[in-house]
Structure 1
Amino acid sequence: MKGLSRFLPAACLALALVFSGSVHAQQSAQPTAAAIASARELLTLKHADAMYANAVPGMVERTKTTLLQSNLNYQKDLNEVALIVAKSLAGREKEIGDGMAKIYAGHFTEQELKDLVTFYKSPLGQKLIAQEPKAIEASMGFMNQWAHQFADVVNGAFRAEMRKRGKEI
């Protein structure tokens, strides 16, 4: 029995290391093409492309604006070049969508992604897609209002504690 009690902690540690290694290997494994395809479908259903649809023109405009700050005499040229650059790079925002799909496929299994696609195609999933942005916006408004009111409470608490110390602020 004594020999077993000395062996058991080492065996448990070895098993824990083996299992943690296999979990890590599963998490770092490359997602399958089918998982990435399901992730793309999920992101399409959720209209994720709206987040990055203007990424290329936005980046072109920001770069032009930055360059104009130190090259005002090239304004006409930079405006013309911005159109050329935007046209030549159009469509590159797809790279963002591809990257997002790979990220989702790395965080969810293929089956989970298929289940999510099924859910988002359902009436409730469609309602979530339509209503969630409004709910989030309203929630953010509520949080901002709460923070403003709570800041007054915290400020009052500081003033009260400072008054107890004989100091008015």
Structure 2
Amino acid sequence: MKIKLNLIILTAIIFLFAGNLKAQTNTPDFKPSHLKAAEQYLIATGVNTQFGDVLNKMVGASSSQIPEANRASYLKVMSAFMAKYFTWDVLKDRLDKIYAAEFTEDELKQLAAFYNTPLGKKASTKTPVLLQKGMLLGQQAVEDHRPELEQMMKDAFQADAAPAAKE
């Protein structure tokens, strides 16, 4: 049930993201200086150097849901896939646009200036650790109440099936 529930949740997340991607077809044009400011901000935060570590941790964490007999193959395939499609060099230009859409050029320059200070560098190094701890906290909250969540899902799925049974 645990693997089936995780697959259902993962599938739901994929469909949510896929729907959002289709809806975001209008990409605004940004001045080159605005995109450069976004890139400088990302570099100041260390995203360019932390990119691989974050993805490796995500793959490693997700592998715990894979049966032991398939885990090594899963890690090999996911690592190869991530190295091909989820690197700083591959996604940098798209990341620049994401940040340029959320911040003005001046704001990005101010953020980059902050992240180049000693406090900004400390914040940058602590952020991945804090995010990981926050994710673990969320996972633990779900795990602590997993039976309740599973019952809620089971009830919801049964309710979904009930109208179909009447037809």
Normalising by the residue count of structure 1, what TM-score does the alignment of the two structures yield?
A: 0.47
TM-score between the two structures when normalised by the length of structure 2: 0.47
Larger radius of gyration: 1
